[in-house]
Amino acid sequence: DRAALDALVVANQRDNEPGLSVAISIDGELAYHGWAGQANLEHHVPIDADTRFAIASISKQFTAFAIMALVEEGTLSLDQPVHEIIPELEVRPVPVTIRHLLNHTSGLREANSLLLLSGQSDLSPVKQAQSLDLIYRQRGGNFSAGVRQEYSNTGYQLLAEIIERLTGQPYPQFLQDRIFEPLGMSQTFVRTEPGQVIENLAAGYRPQRGGFTSHPVLSATYGSTGIVSTPRDLLVWGDALNSGTIGGAEVIKAMETRSSLASGRRLIATNGQEYRRFRGVDTWSHGGSTGGFRSFLLRVPAERISIAVMGNRSDFLKAAFAFKVASVVLSDRLETEQVAAFVPERGAALDRYVGDYRLFAGVVFSLRRQGDELTFASFGGEQATPLRQIARGVFELDPSAELRLEFCDLAEGRATEMRWQISDDGFIPAPRVTMQPIPQTPLDTSELTGAYFSETLQQVVSVYDLQGEIWLRTGDARSVALERYQPDIFRPRSASRVQKLEFVRNENGHVTHALLSTSLADNIEYRRIDAE
């Protein structure tokens, strides 16, 4: 139904704004390609059939495929400890294996989060070697390998390095020789230089104050990201995976083999892809987000269908759009979308969800009941938002971002976990935690103020008193006021790259060091140096 597809494209973009491009293949043949909007607002360049985009984390499945090909050739094993190949990495009590890197279960601190703490971002000209050096210097981690799944770019940057060390070939060239060139993906390559001039590349944008600001990508890390492509080129890759025309049957089988945690819990994300059962059909997909670029590749192998979506505005809900496209393409084969009838829970029935849930270090949300309503707030916060229940165990938090809170796991009548569901992009698990009451005793700031040094980040931060409040100044010359929300644990009062600061005392009660955390990088030790 081309008219329906055209209507979807037009409904999502305006000609004078950043836009999107979507392509669909069936049985390896291009069935549809539509686009709308501007590739470059400053120069009034519209998106066209040849516009390139940064595909961000879709790059991960190319890295996973390369690893599986090396496994099939006998070059390495999925259960091989990573430090055997990269001895610069810390030897952990539970060895981190290749499989852990592929499935985001390594527990290693996330590279981009570490870069943020060191003052870098996707707007910084960071190269692969800088990011790897930061990873190698880490001691400790977020959790023991295999305990839980936590999305991380670290694993895939290390996988790219493993490919280079085992083959003696640069990762970008390996992909060029083994994937891009054999498949005829002439518009696809790995970007390795910050500020690299790329023909037909769209500019990235972020909505702001009724208009847009430029949001480019200067970081040139790879393995986890870094690939530039077009929707039509990406379809070639999707078709090759659907048909098994690349790598062989064993490699394709390995790519689509889901793993489990040590607890036995089966994982959704694996090998740079996510499995979903969508209205009666099996799908594999993955999205990408970097700077102002958003992308999504959706495959339906049994139907030999691939859908590639790319856009250049940061508010583009690419996964939701891709599944809407799939609904049109598969309209005669999909099961009828069932909207389960439910009676909104009221009163004491809502108590099963009441509690505190940890999304990231220092980011704890509280769900409370007020009469017949469930409310949402930051832990200890005074302003609570009423939640509208839209299904059994599902509550709407932000309709514009399609952000929902979902509860699936109950034990003894209480939810054990809250799922932070972001549109159709997937969810972040937020386990239930037990919090102590917010301390009300006076704070002696002199016990905490001083300079603290991190060996792993090679960075000094300062904790200081300003009008009776504790402030933190980080290595990028940014300062933020902190508030105490647990004994000796603080969080920022406003937006900050730092999300938690915990002070650690010795047996005499003196503060000897601090543990600093941000999203996906927990408990980095900063030793107090002013007291020596």
Per-residue model confidence as pLDDT tens digits over 131-140: 999 999 999 9
Residue 98 parent element (H or E): helix 98-102
CA distances from 145 to 67, 99, 250 (A): 19, 10, 26
Give the pLDDT of residue 531. Answer: 59
pLDDT (tens digit per residue) in 9-58: 988 777 789 999 999 999 999 999 999 999 999 999 999 999 999 999 99
**What's the rounded Cα separation, in Å, for the pair 323 and 276?**
11
Evaluate if residue 148 carries a pLDDT over 60: yes
pLDDT(410) > 90? no
- Which residue from 80, 85, 73 is spatially nearest to 100, judged by alpha carbons? 80
Residue 193 in contact with residue 97, Cβ under 8 Å?
Answer: no
- For residue 532, the model assigns a pLDDT of 47
Residue-averaged pLDDT of the chain:
93
Cβ count near 399 (within 10 Å):
10
pLDDT of residue 243: 93
More confident position, 61 or 532: 61
The model's confidence at residue 334, banded by pLDDT at 50, 70 and 90, is confident
Q: What is the pLDDT of residue 51?
A: 98
* Cα–Cα nearest to 521, from 181, 146, 141, 91: 141
Instruction: Name the phi and psi angles at 161, rounded to 5.
Output: -65, -40
**What is the predicted pLDDT for the residue at 339?**
67
State percent of the chain over pLDDT 90: 80
What is the pLDDT at residue 122? 65
The predicted pLDDT at position 261 comes to 84
504 pLDDT higher than 50: yes
Over 60: is that where the pLDDT of 116 sits? Answer: yes
- Name residue, tokens 């940890």: 358
C-beta neighbour count of 156 within 10 angstroms: 28
Closest C-alpha among 279, 374, 286, 363 to residue 329? 279
CA dist., res. 168 & res. 40, Å (int): 39
Q: Which residue has the higher pLDDT, 140 or 269?
A: 140
pLDDT at 141 over 70: yes
Residue 129, SS3 per DSSP: helix
What is the average per-residue pLDDT within 178-187?
A: 97
Distances (CA, A) of 373 to 31, 184, 341, 353: 48, 56, 19, 11
pLDDT of residue 402 exceeding 70, the answer is: yes
pLDDT digits (tens, 9 = 90+) for 340-369: 678 899 999 999 999 999 999 999 999 999
What's the token pair of residue 68?
């599986």
